[in-house]
Amino acid sequence: MIGNVLGNRYEILEKIGGGGMALVYKARCRLLNRFVAVKVLRHELIEDQEFISRFNIESQAAASLSHPNIVSVYDVGQQEDIHYIVMEYIDGITLKELITSKGALAWKDALNFSVQICSALEHAHKKHIVHRDIKPHNIMITKDGMVKVTDFGIARAATSTTLTLGGNTIGSVHYFSPEQARGSYTDEKSDIYSLGIVMYELLTGRVPFDGESPVAVAIKHIQEQPISPRNINKSIPIALQSIVLKAISKEQSSRYPSATSMLKDLYKAFDEPDNDFVEGGNIDDSPTQKVPIININGSDNMTQKKKKVKKEDRVAVIAAIITSAIIIGGISFVGYNLLFNGQLAINKNIEQKVPNLIGKDLNTVKSFYNDPEKFNIVEVQQEYSDEVEKGKIISQKPGPDEVVKLPETIEVVVSRGPRTITVPNLTNTEYRQAEINLERIGLGYKVIYEFHETIPEGIVIRHVPEEGAEAKTDDIVQLYVSKGREIKMVKVSNLVGKTEDEAKRIIGQLGLVLGKVTREPSDKPKDTVIAQSIPAESEVEEKTVIDLVISDGKPTDEKERYININLPQDKDTVKVKIVANNSEGSKTVYEKMHSKSDSPITVRLVGKGTISIQVYFDDVLKAEDTINFGG
């Protein structure tokens, strides 16, 4: 293959990889002068027409994916018996190579890679494409740490119900799901399982199931529970372990319902790595406990032992209770007599209603009501309130109009005003991370999607209220999220026969861009379009460039001459006009504004025979001459 050119465009340079179904080559695209990766189907598979058909259909499906974490597919083609896919060339290493060289990764690095892989799967699943072979070998890492998921060669539409080709299960045994091992129905949750296995390996440095043969490994996927990741690597946060265990649940119904829901937990794990917020992601690690034996009467052995307390102990307890009651009763009696018959009965006959302080300013109330013989206003607490202004009283105890004996202390709760939260900067943040940030500080949100020419899909363009604004807890932050660039298709009009000006106007109205305009001699009327670079009725994206060829009229025996003109230097600018005179009459052949720094200027004149010319500066005749064109 080295040296071959596929599609009259892709020059094969070197082999860079291969798998069970295809070989991968580095190539150069001659048209765009860039490196690409070309995946060529293995020769032994080209006889299977069903496989070829499926290969082409599914390659086209993969080409429909457009995501920063998915290797772009540029082209799909066939040349004689060579079937190939042209893809984005990635200058990096596979995730498997990274794990092999480093072993278990730091949990933040593992989480970062997992978020990118899950984001890629989310995009594919929304397009109804299931990868079916997620493994570290099919995940490239660029030099700047960006994930690129590749090899959708066995991807199937999400509605497909079979997993086998020619009786052989497709997929990589260490990473495929129990349903793939059984050869039964696969869906998006099969990819989620495989991602969970990849995460397990990233965090522990090894796969959860291994064996002497592929069949042995497959059986373990179906029947065995994995060792808990934290039993292998204690530094793994609880949240990550729970996410992994939920993703690799045996039953599809127990896994994450979608890549979107898994992605939300992955983002949350960045902020709450030690919180077990994942539902259904735990393995019961509690030790075996000895349960007391329950006898036929319904009480356990411990209860029976308690019933054997010695009689003398019970007597001692009862005696202590009676003694305490006598002491307390005596104290209460003394206190009662002191209160009503002694000095503690000060002002016992003065009663007064408690004033209504609610809604009043605390400082004003203190200055007006505080009196040692009447009321003492004491602030006991401050609370946030959306109804009561800051510094004013929310509630009081005793309450308004309650009758009390003086002096009396009135305890009041004072408003701190409404609780406000400073809105953080969410612009240029992935919208799910923005949602988590708002939830964490107690603000609600509403996502509004809109197209944007430059900001990638899923990124917050702006938000209202803006950064730094003070919002109440019940306020809703509106997140304006990019849907990516809106691709508008337009149908190209037939411009041939239109005048140059008409063609330019139509190009602008269609939203296209005028490219190169050239002129050629033609039997068609002069200054009309005789060719266009994009055929009429073609559908292209808005802002596509279209070139025009304009008729320069019929070829003639006219010849060209050049004259040099010195400009006046006493003016900054001057209008130069040249009028040609011959037997057919007078005609302005040149008219243009020039600055004095242009001097001298060279003017091209076309004609035949002998003509006289007149040169004007600012419409004032300055020179006359005769030019012989010969013939």
Catalytic (active-site) positions: 133
Q: How far apart are CA 84 and CA 63, in angstroms?
A: 13
User: In the structure encoding, which two tokens stand for residue 241, read together?
Assistant: 């372990």
Q: How far is 118 from 600, CA to CA, in rounded Å?
A: 68
Report the distance separating Cα 88 and Cα 96, nearest Å.
20
User: Beta 545-551 vs 513-520: how paired, if at all?
Assistant: parallel
- Chain center to CA of 173: 31
Q: Which pair of tokens denotes residue 75?
A: 């082209």
Place of tokens 């005048």: 499
d(CA 209, CA 232): 14
> CA nearest 200: which of 165, 246, 164?
246
Taking alpha carbons only, the member of 174, 149, 175, 28 closest to residue 94 is: 149
The stretches of 141-187 forming alpha helices (DSSP H) are 178-182
Whether the CB-CB separation of 374 and 408 falls below 8 Å is answered with yes
- Tell how strand 147-149 and strand 82-88 pair up: unpaired
| Residue of 615, 515, 622 whose CA lies nearest to 563 | 615
The β-bridge partners of 139 are 149
The helix/strand count (H/E) of the chain reads as 14, 34
Q: In what helix (H) or strand (E) does residue 229 lie, and over which residues does it extend?
A: helix 229-232
Secondary structure of 383-438 as H, E, C letters: ECCCCCCCCEEEEEECCCCCEEECCEEEEEEEECCCCEEECCCCCCCEHHHHHHHH
Q: Are 12 and 27 in contact (CB under 8 A)?
A: yes
